[in-house]
Amino acid sequence: MILRRGEEADLNFILGLQAAPDNCELVLPFDREEHLKALRGDEEVMDVIVEEKATGEAVGYLRVAGLNNPHKEIEWTHVIIAKKGRGYGHEAMKLIKAWTFETKKAHRAWLDCKEYNERALHLYEAEGLKREGLIRETIFHCGRYENLVILGILDREYLARKEQGLERL
């Protein structure tokens, strides 16, 4: 697996992932213009494509925000994998953590996740993110208010996981 900065040619793939039946209730989609802004080199946010290294096939997308945050805090706002159940989510998380902490030298990374998205919560916790809080009834989506779980990981937690062999070398 590799991560690469998204390009305008990836827009339909990203929009399709957001709208797919098994994803659309789990993420709040960004519109076409918001994605174009990120794909055209916005300095604060970046759309990232997850690809199979051998084939170059796009298998997922994630968004990174806070690229210029003075507090060295990065947010992963979407992590959407098209081919579920193949380990791509774990691999993508390992790659984005390595980039966040080793390349960007971030102090903290975080994301939010709908409380009922157990598959994603399991992934994030297995990848070392800690539950930091719950924001109750914060978004109105699909006719109801929903809770968001906040999860985060600190640079020292990532480095400890790396020393234990739990991260990419």
Residue pLDDT, tens place only, 51-92: 999 999 999 999 999 999 999 999 998 899 998 888 899 999
CA–CA distance, 8 with 88 (Å, rounded to integer): 23
Please tell me the pTM assigned to this model.
Answer: 0.90
State which fold the 2-163 domain adopts: Aminopeptidase (3.40.630)
- What secondary structure letter does DSSP report for 110? E
In the structure encoding, which two tokens stand for residue 45, read together? 């946010």
User: So where are the chain's domains?
Assistant: 2-163
145: Cα within 13 Å, side-chain hemisphere: 4
- What secondary structure letter does DSSP report for 102? I
Confidence of residue 26 (pLDDT cuts 50, 70, 90): confident
Look up residue 136 and give its amino acid.
Answer: R
